[in-house]
Amino acid sequence: MRVAKFGGSSLASAEQIKKVTNIVQEHPERRLLVVSAPGKRDSGDTKVTDLLIELGSKAWHGQSYEAVYETVVDRYRQIASGLGLGESVVQEVAADFTERVQFAADNEESYMDQMKAGGEDNNAKVIARYLQNEGVKAAYLNPYEAGLLVSDEPGNAKVLPEAYEHLYKLRDRDEILVFPGFFGYTPEGKLATFPRGGSDITGSIVAAGVQADLYENFTDVDSVYAANPGVVDQPMEVKQMTYREMRELSYAGFGVFHDEALIPAFRASIPVCVKNTNNPDAEGTMIIAERAQDQTPVTGIAADEGFSTIYVRKYLMNREVGFGRRLLKIVEDEGISYEHIPSGIDDTSVIIDNSQLTAEKEERMLTRIMEELEADDAHIEHGFAMIMLVGEGMHETVGVASRAAQALSNRGINIEMINQGSSEVSLTFGIQAAQADEAIRGLYEQFFRPSVVGTES
């Protein structure tokens, strides 16, 4: 059995959906189809999920929402028309969104979950109907019916262990099942969505649940690339990579997957193949547990912006038992998680994601650090990017850090922080965010185009 997940760009129009149905029918083992909401048809378009967020926000706050509602329904009308489906399908979609707008929720988060999930849910119903009209034995499958049970955390749901037992029973079904991504249900029957990018999470969970032979993740590129094609001209395609490499790169801002998306498949040792809906014959990228090492120690380079550093200095900090624990407790008390903690004997830094910060939190933390830890200095600096080199071959290769530092130096980029993971699969540099793209280009030339910088390959 294969589980095939299709992203928003693969399902943005009737033309794209026809491609998807052809792909599904090409291989009899593709029996579970996980779908996203319709994405952008072109660069000037808007994703249906974004439209639903706007619709839900307006409705919840008592604002006029009719124009956005009509825009959403019209997207499905165009899709249904292009697939040769009748107006009755559109009316069903419209009735569903009307019900969602009128949904009585205890809080805005739960209300918005209902709204956002409508994109995937209605798309799954439309696609299942199209497959049936084409003579394919297919059925829409609601996540609650399938037993996809999740925690009661709106917008941040986590799969419950018992869900996998329920999902395994889907192996007994003999039709193609069209499964909406992005959401599940609590044991009490309350809908809850995964974080953004949640359809990838659903696909991974379903693949693990049915113990698929392969999880295929279809997108709009032929493979995973060694660097962002929008930054590096014609970067190398990565034919194979390990779970660890993909996880590290996703965390560092690789756009292929949300950094948590593939964990269920990884844990179940389900191989993952990234393929292109628009070019399904392309080999794609296989993500597996182990792979043969090639001559390049670095598999990929990724960057993510939006980081800040809490800088703390205190003389003889290294002699003070519990200093780090108390510092992190202050950060924890503000509900903030940290990314890295580079330190010296008299100073330390806590690197955090900007999205967790507010001016009030910053002031409280700095006040407590100065008063409770009796620090000599404490301040917060903003505007950092994390550049990550990832590769299973790095720990066996001498001089990777030296070459990386030289590449950044050649581009006039100052390194603010260096951190090597204990597994030695990743090497992270903190730099000014404004220099992130230049840093990626310099590192790519160093490790993938060594002749450009005069280094022997």
At 444, which CATH number? 3.30.2130.10
Q: What is the mean pLDDT of residues 18-26?
A: 93
Identify the residue with better confidence: 423 or 296.
Answer: 296
Return the SS3 of 337: coil
Residue 269 counted as domain residue: no
Q: Smallest Cα–Cα separation from 143: which of 87, 194, 218?
A: 194
Is the domain of 93 the same as that of 212? yes
Residue 245 counted as domain residue: no
pLDDT at residue 421, as a whole number = 66
Per-residue pLDDT at 386 exceeds 60: yes
Least confident range from 12-26, 171-185, 424-438: namely 424-438
pLDDT at residue 99, as a whole number = 96
CA distance 246 to 391: 9
Q: What is the mean pLDDT of residues 67-76?
A: 96
C-alpha distances in Å from residue 121, one per residue of 110, 125, 143, 381? 16, 6, 9, 43
Annotated binding site for ATP: 5-8, 219-220, 225
Residue 270 counted as domain residue: no
pLDDT confidence bin for 41, thresholds 50/70/90: very high
Return the SS3 of 357: coil
Residue 230 counted as domain residue: no
Residue 226 counted as domain residue: no
pTM for the model: 0.84
Per-residue pLDDT at 456 exceeds 50: no
Q: Which of 220, 241, 258 is the last residue of a domain?
A: 220
Spell 253-285 as b/e; 16+ CB within 10 A means b: bbbbbbbbbbbbbbebebbbbbbbbeebeeebb
pLDDT confidence bin for 423, thresholds 50/70/90: low
Please report, as a single letter, which amino acid is at residue 425. Answer: V
Per-residue pLDDT at 196 exceeds 80: no
CA angle 117, 307, 356 (to 5 degrees): 50
Is the domain of 212 the same as that of 318? no
Please report, as a single letter, which amino acid is at residue 349. Answer: S
Range of the domain at 369: 300-453
Kindly report the CATH number assigned to the domain that includes residue 122.
Answer: 3.40.1160.10
Per-residue pLDDT at 347 exceeds 60: yes
- The sign one gets for the Cα dihedral 230, 231, 233, 237 is negative
Q: Which residues pair with 176 in a beta bridge?
A: 138
CA distance 124 to 178: 6
Is the domain of 24 the same as that of 170? yes
pLDDT tens column, 135-149: 999 999 999 999 999
Q: Which of 204, 220, 236 is the last residue of a domain?
A: 220
Identify the residue with better confidence: 36 or 243.
Answer: 36
Instruction: State the number of CA atoms in the 13 A half-sphere of 36 facing the CB.
Output: 28
pLDDT at residue 114, as a whole number = 95
pLDDT confidence bin for 449, thresholds 50/70/90: confident
CA distance 331 to 353: 12
Annotated binding site: 5-8, 49, 120, 219-220, 225
Annotated binding site for substrate: 49, 120
Per the structure, the count of domains in the chain is 2
pLDDT at residue 455, as a whole number = 44
Q: What is the mean pLDDT of residues 276-296?
A: 85
Residues 6+ apart with CB under 8 A from 194: 150, 156, 157, 182, 183, 184, 201, 202
Residue 267 counted as domain residue: no
Q: What is the mean pLDDT of residues 292-308?
A: 85
Residue 247 counted as domain residue: no
CA distance 111 to 57: 9
Q: What is the mean pLDDT of the chain?
A: 91
Residue 100 counted as domain residue: yes
Residue position matching structure tokens 């299973």: 392
CA distance 11 to 39: 7
